[in-house]
Structure formats: structure tokens, C-alpha cells
Amino acid sequence: MSAVENAVLLCQSCGEETDHRLAYAGRLLVVTECRHCGHTIVRDVRARYLADLKQRVATKPVRMLRRFVRHPVGFTSSLPRTTMRKPSELLDEVRLVWGSRRA
């Protein structure tokens, strides 16, 4: 999943504690952007992303089973929605990891 989170961090460019936008591809932090001055740090995580994705795919059935056992109704009712979103989430991750290198 490509996810964006916000956090207050010390910006190395403007020297202030400001809101930052953090963009993740799966479990990997790819982009950090200061919302005050726009200073952006892009990490090249391509090799690590492929290893992480491979591990996530390999463990997906076990994680799904674990979620089903813990919350059968919630898991079952959310399955159609989450299944439909997966391809676009994966595409967003790939765009973030490879597209951010051109920025």
C-alpha cells in the first residue's frame, strides 16, 4: 500500500519543527517533504522495495488467515473492497518508488 502520513519533524533546511508529509511504499519510507519550505528528501528504495514486496506477497495468505480468525465478520465484509483496491494500491507504490527517482 502506498500511504501518506503526517508528522512533526525538525527540517534540516528551514531549521524548524514543521509538519512533514511522509510517503511510504509498503513499509518503506520513500519521500519526506517539509510542508513549510518544501524541502524534500527522496530515498532510493527500489532494491529494498522488491525484497519487501516479495516478502509481503509470500506472507499474505498467513496474514489474511490470521485476520480472518481474529475478526471473521470484519474481514469477510471488507474483503471485496480491499481486494478491489489492491491493484491500484500496488500501482501507486510502484509509481512512488520508481517515479520519485525522476523528481
Q: Which residues bind Zn ion (CB under 5 A)?
A: 11, 13-14, 34, 36-37, 39
Cα–Cα dist 96/75, whole Å: 28
* CB-nearer residue toward Zn ion: 3 or 41: 41
DSSP state of 95: H
Q: How far is the CB of 38 from Zn ion (least distance, A)?
A: 7
Q: How far is the CB of 86 from Zn ion (least distance, A)?
A: 34
* CB-nearer residue toward Zn ion: 11 or 25: 11
* CB-nearer residue toward Zn ion: 21 or 27: 21
* CB-nearer residue toward Zn ion: 16 or 59: 16
Q: How far is the CB of 28 from Zn ion (least distance, A)?
A: 22
Buried b (16+ CB within 10 A) or exposed e, 76-100: eeeeeeeeeeeeeebebbeebbeeb
Q: How far is the CB of 31 from Zn ion (least distance, A)?
A: 14
- Within a 10 A sphere around the Cβ of 17, how many other Cβ atoms? 11
Cα–Cα dist 103/92, whole Å: 16
